[in-house]
Amino acid sequence: MHLCSIAFSSLLIVQGLSLVAAQRSWEEAYSLARPLIDQMSLEQKVNMTTGMGWTITPCVGNSHPITNPDFPSMCYQDSPLGVRMAHNVTAWPAGITAAATFDRRILNLRGVGMAQEFREKGVHVQLGPAINFMRTPQGGRGFESFGEDPFLTGACASETVIGIQSQGVIATAKHFILNDQELNRNTASSNVDDRTLHEIYLWPFARAVESGCAGVMCAYNLVNGSHACEDKHTLSLLKNELGFQGFVTSDWWATHSTVESANHGMDVDMPGNDMNQDDPYSSSFWGRNLTKAVKNGSVDETRVTDMALRVAAAYFKMKQDTGIIPETKLNSFDLTKVDDSVNVKTPQHTRLARAIAAAGTVLLANDGILPLTRHDTSLSIIGSDAFMSPLLNDPEKCSDFGCDPATLIQGWGSGTVTFADPIIAPYQGLKERAGSHVKFETARDNWDLDAVAKTAAASDIAIVFANADSGEEYLTVDGNKGDRNNLTLWNNGDAIITTTANNNKNTIVVIHSVGAVTMPWIDHPNIKAVVWANLPGEQSGHALADVMFGDINPSGRLPYTIAKKAEDYGAVIGTGSNIDYTEKLLLGYRWFDEHKIDPLFPFGHGLSYTTFLYNDLEVHTHRASEVVSVSVHVTNVGHFDGHEVVQLYLDFPDNAGEPPKVLRGFDKIYIRAGMNRKVHFDLTKTELSIWDTDSQQWVIPSGTFRVMIGASSRDIRAVRSFRM
């Protein structure tokens, strides 16, 4: 049996465990919440919506427990890629890797697997998924989210939320909204027009809300001049226009007022204190200050009642009142003080993490050297990124993964798993898979180019590894305070790649990266393949070996554009107090299309070991129901079984003012060699509409549309027109 089959059977095993208890409807949840909240005093409702403080609770955030009537202290815990600040948990592939799978089923199961571990650790609220955008490739936390496209990000958000909440854990979509860089994130205002806000940045939150998301986290930044956690306009859009019925929690210390944040729509203040105060509760903008604001008439008590209702409704919706969340088994701030031996990391999770990492691996280029075969008798493994270092599990020397001494499995910051053990490095995975007949030469020091050259020349094939890192602004790594200073590879990466290629005619480049990098070596005649391994999590080496040895046919696709040079991108990190989104709708590949800029590798790009042929595109318009049905046949004309990602782009009528093409559908399908499948898409009003700023509603523009079916944003295989 090929490992491809083994990997996907493991997904079925996890899927079989996926449902803890069917969620209640929001109507049922509120019917249970109201009688409870009606019994509470003002002080109890305030306690329920104010965090207990930083470093004094078992979780990164806890609400106050309520007695008579009883309501538990709810545990809020990072991160969007696994349980932070805990042992015996899985370091899952990052959000950007999950997006690269272009696979809704895998995205859902990743949410399931993560939430099983959160639940067993006694966590009520997972602080994820992150669904901000890779507006600029340098953005520090872009790796936590799902790339540059709103449709893809929305689909990823939806499936992740459904997966998380199937386990009875509350998902928290974050960071609401326009939180797309780390520089000046607490003081700068992200300024955007109404149409761009709706069509790009609000889109994935709308999909999360549609999927029943019970939590949303408001962001650090300002929005059009107002702090996000007290911005009346956007919080009203969330609750009124999108119909969000859950609660809005602040990001940690993103609250800047008592009255404005309460009156304008925030529901929970976390962590509930000022970091520099000795008395956490009294120094909070909420807590006693919110109680005073109600008593002096600045905040109506009905607003506080609504806050508490929303929290309780989310709790009841997830059926957390039935005991599905066990006692919390965390001590986030001192792991020596709690018996953290409960191991929530299962063999199923390990297999699933490996399958996700493999499915998210993108084969950017291949001149026939891959897959590796049993006839390859010697391999040179070059670069620190191929190897493990004990520093990666040292919380003092590599706090929140804020270092880059070895293989890169995730970025840094609060959106990480603190203790990733064991990490399967690429060298280990490749060596295990290759077998004893393959001779390995290694060079770990990226700065010893003489050793790199000697090692490269010593084998039939040289595999050279490099990476690029980023993260959250409270940590500075190699001079990068969150956002990347540039798009070059780290740790002398370009030099070791060039040196390797100069000394071995069969060079394979493997990149682990948070996002796009420049590739000055890409045209070197000795570079025969480029493997984009993203941020694969703890099973990095095993997943990479699965793909490179052909046990799994690569099927990952780029969730962002890789440009030829940094200046080609349409947005940059804003350095002042105002970050103006002047590119408007032209985010990512849309900018490249509009300005006719050739990317190095386009959005949606990824190669396979086989070849797929597209034909028989059909488009049928059902005007009465405002649905357009699209179908296309895809045939595997190569020699390997494999997955293809069929992408549907839409070109709107000329008068609509849209970019040249926008993603409006994708489907990942498995086709055996020599076989074909028919792929169907339904374009509904959601996919066909634009935001009309005059009427303040979604409308389908009249005129001629074009459906473009392709294998990437720049590899369109078939086009058909229709009118609406």
- The catalytic residue positions are 251
How far apart, in whole angstroms, are the C-alpha atoms of residue 214 and residue 318? 9
Per DSSP, the residues of 61-120 read: EEBPPBTTTTBPPPEEE--TTS-SS-SS---PPPHHHHHHTT-HHHHHHHHHHHHHHHHH
> Cα–Cα distance between 540 and 469 in angstroms, integer?
16
Report helix angle 347-359 to 104-120, nearest 10: 150
Residue with tokens 């209640």: 24
Contact 663, 649 (CB under 8 A): yes
Handedness of CA 98, 99, 102, 107 (dihedral sign): positive
Beta bridge partners of 709: 648, 718
Q: What share of the chain is helix, strand, coil (3-state, %, to 5)?
A: 30, 20, 50
Q: Is the peptide bond before 79 cis (omega within 30 degrees of 0)?
A: yes
User: Among 506, 433, 498, 503, which residue's Cα sits nearest to residue 466?
Assistant: 498
Q: Is 156 helix (H, G, I), strand (E, B) or coil?
A: helix
Q: Residue 585 in 3-state DSSP?
A: coil
Neighbour-count burial for 508-517, b at 16+ CB within 10 Å, e otherwise: bbbbbbbbbb
CA angle (354, 359, 360) in 5-degree steps = 100
Residue-wise over 174-190: b if at least 16 C-beta within 10 A, else e?
Answer: bbbbbbbbbbbbeebbb
10 Å CB burial of residue 670 (0-12, 13-18, 19+) is middle
CA pair distance 49, 92, nearest whole angstrom: 30
End-to-end CA distance of the chain: 49
Distance CA 155, CA 149 (A): 10
How many CB atoms are closer than 10 A to CB 693? 11
Measured CA distances, 656 to 555, 586, 589, 678 (Å) = 34, 14, 18, 31
Cα 293 versus chain centre, distance: 38
- What angle do helix axes 3-16 and 347-359 make, rounded to 10 degrees? 130
DSSP-derived pairing of the beta strands 642-651 and 75-77? unpaired
